[in-house]
Amino acid sequence: MAAMASLLNGERAVVVVFVTCVVVSLPPSLFCHGLALSLLALAALSLDVGADYLNSFPLFQTRPGASSGILLGAVTLPTVMLSKLIQIERAVSLKEIEIEEFEHLTMQYWAASACCLGVIVLLCVLISNTPSNTHPLALHSARHAKFSLTCIVLYTALCCVSLGTISLTSFNTILKLLWMFCHGLAAVKLIQHLLSTFPSCASIGEALLVTSGLVLYLGDMLALTIAKACRLLITENMVRYGSKRSEIGVIIQGMLLGLLLFPVVFRFVLQILEWFLTKAFSQSRIDNEIRKSLIFFFCLGFSMIVIIPTWMEFVQDFHMHPLLWVFSFVFSEPLKRLSLCIYWVLVICVSVVRFYNISKNSKIERILLRKYYHLMAVLMFLPALVFQPKFLDLAFGVALGVFLALEIVRVWRLWPLGRLVHQFMTAFTDHRDSDILIVSHFSLLLGCALPIWMSSGYNDRPLVPFAGILSLGIGDTMASMVGYKYGVLRWSKSGKKTVEGTAAGITSVLATCSVLLPLLASTGYIVTEHWFSLVVAVTVSGLLEAYTTQLDNAFIPLVFYSLLCL
């Protein structure tokens, strides 16, 4: 019994239930995908348990106070893709969308799985090579790693079978497997870079989720670029990839990827310029900082106005410059969209000034102060999602781009904003943030945005786009506030989460859904949500919030989204 309790602690048990709910909902046509996900979950579970036997994970400095999170990090993104596949399969059976979109999403599912699989292989190798004398139970870790590798071999065989049935491109199965291998290799390199560059900023599971998401996002844009280039060079429609993209989706994807790749390019440009300048003359440290900042802002502006829009135009065939397209889109309904922008600015200004003063002058718990920002997200995003969903898509992308640019400025302490941004942001940090990297605001914004972005196109479940707003803005906030003030019964001896808080979070989300569904029906949505699946989704995501030590803003909305798609 003790061994079983160690194998399935609270977080692992909830994740197993989550994966099981998705697998048992699969239609027969997706049996191979479900079996592969089960093998991936078994490999990650075995590795997660094996990692507990080590005092620290080899070569990596992870976030203090958090479990490894390998199981949760490994299965979240593939399970999200599989849930979306279930939804798209329903549309294909009803002939509401073309089979190409289903096959494209299948490729995305295997690519996301390949990213997680590559990192699992890396972790297995690291554990297997750990000297047995470093810990009395390290031999148990090696056994778990070997079992994980066995699951991985079976998983690879299923991947080969599935990719052989996809006719999405003119490439054969070997080239498709090579594409998946490139995803896995890129994920391995990226997670090593992230955990070494930002030590103690994330757990293995958090870094794995970020890594797989970034590689999948970049790989998708790269595949679109390659397919377009091949069509131009061959002058025949021999290479196809994906379905038709919206202009907003391409603008967001190009902008975010451009900003993520910008620091790498800028560092290279800066090294070249400084090599030439230092040979010509020497300057004081202050002059060097100002010069570096001016070069940064010039390069950033040139990239955002010229280089990145050119990439977007190449992929999408815009009829005008993408920035002009954005202005045209905003002013196509100026009264509604500009009024919404003014409303957002007012809410942000009032809330930020008020909460910043409270954080400096009050002894209120930081965790409760941060939950007010969750409520602010509800006030900002819920009306926009009901009445202006496309404009909200674009606004999320712009906000995330601004966050990325400000975080680069803060990390590099660029003159004149770097120190001011750092001083402001540290007023809202907690134990999950560090001076090196502040991620809480990213996770909150992405937690609200991702379900909305993934719901664009076909969606037969009206509550799916609201998954982030409901789980974070309502459920997580109520659970924290009620648990802090009235919580007595704790879920575990070492944790702070209470039964009363979890019950309040679950109840508040269900109550909000009972109000939201009639409102959506009155605005023209076709309500097809089943209350049984809704209760299961709310309960599982609520229990995950109670048990997990990972960054819940990142995982809970994706879990809630996946279960709502079923």
Six token digits for residue 86: 């279930």
Task: Please give the Cα distance from 477 to 46 (Å, whole number).
Answer: 33
Q: How far apart are CA 98 and CA 92, in angstroms?
A: 6
Is 335 buried (19+), middle (13-18) or exposed (0-12) by CB count in 10 A? exposed
* Placement of tokens 């409303």 in the chain: 343
Which CA distances in Å does 5 have to 8, 16, 66?
5, 14, 18
Q: Coil, strand, or helix at residue 510?
A: helix
Q: Is the distance from CB of 144 to CB of 46 less than 8 angstroms?
A: yes
> Pick from 251, 526, 218: which is nearest to 390 by CA?
251
Q: Which residues, including other chains, have CB under 8 Å from residue 406's CB and lie 6 or more apart? A: 417, 421
Q: What is the DSSP string of 420-479?
A: HHHHHHGGG--TT--SS---HHHHHHHHHHHHHHHTSS----TTGGGHHIIIIIIIIHHH
Q: How would you label 346-380 residue by residue, b for 16+ Cβ within 10 Å and e otherwise?
A: eeeeebeeebeeebeeeeeeeeebbbbbbbbbbeb
SS3 10: helix
Q: Which residues contact 525 (CB under 8 A, 6 or more apart)?
A: 462
CA distance 36 to 51: 22
Distances (CA, A) of 40 to 104, 189, 269, 365, 497: 21, 20, 41, 39, 29
Q: What is the pLDDT of residue 561?
A: 93
Residue 70 to residue 286: CA distance in whole angstroms:
44
Q: What is the pLDDT of residue 82?
A: 92
Provide, for the chain, the percentages of residues in helix, strand and coil under a 3-state DSSP scheme, each rounded to the nearest 5. 75, 0, 20
Distance between CA 10 and CA 543 in Å, rounded? 9
46: number of Cβ within 10 Å: 25
Q: In terms of Cα–Cα distance, which of 159, 30, 20 is closest to 90?
A: 30
Q: What is the mean pLDDT of the chain?
A: 80
What does the pLDDT profile of the chain (566 residues) look like in tens digits? 444 455 667 888 999 999 999 999 888 888 888 888 888 888 888 888 877 666 555 667 777 777 788 899 999 999 999 999 998 888 888 887 878 788 888 888 988 988 988 888 888 777 776 655 444 444 455 565 666 667 777 777 777 766 666 655 445 667 777 888 889 899 999 998 888 888 878 888 888 999 999 999 998 888 888 877 777 776 555 556 666 778 888 889 888 888 888 888 888 777 777 666 655 445 555 567 777 788 888 888 888 888 888 888 888 888 888 889 988 998 888 888 888 889 988 888 887 777 766 666 655 566 666 777 778 888 888 888 888 888 999 999 888 888 888 888 888 888 777 788 777 777 666 666 666 777 777 888 888 899 999 888 778 888 889 998 998 888 888 888 888 888 778 877 777 788 888 898 899 999 988 888 887 776 655 555 577 888 889 999 999 988 888 888 889 999 999 999 88
- The count of other CB atoms within 10 Å of the CB of residue 449 is 22
C-alpha dist (Å) from residue 294 to 19, 228, 417, 459: 49, 35, 12, 45
Distance (Å, whole) CA 534 – CA 461: 10
- C-alpha dihedral over 466, 471, 472, 473, to 10 degrees? 60
- Beta carbons within 10 angstroms of residue 393's beta carbon: 22
Tell me how far CA of residue 267 lies from CA of 119, 408, 529, in angstroms.
27, 12, 49
Whole-prediction pTM: 0.89
Q: Give the pLDDT score at 278.
A: 58
Convert the pLDDT of each residue in 229-255 to its tens digit. Answer: 777 776 555 556 666 778 888 889 888
Distance of CA 305 to CAs 276, 295, 309, 483, Å? 27, 15, 6, 48
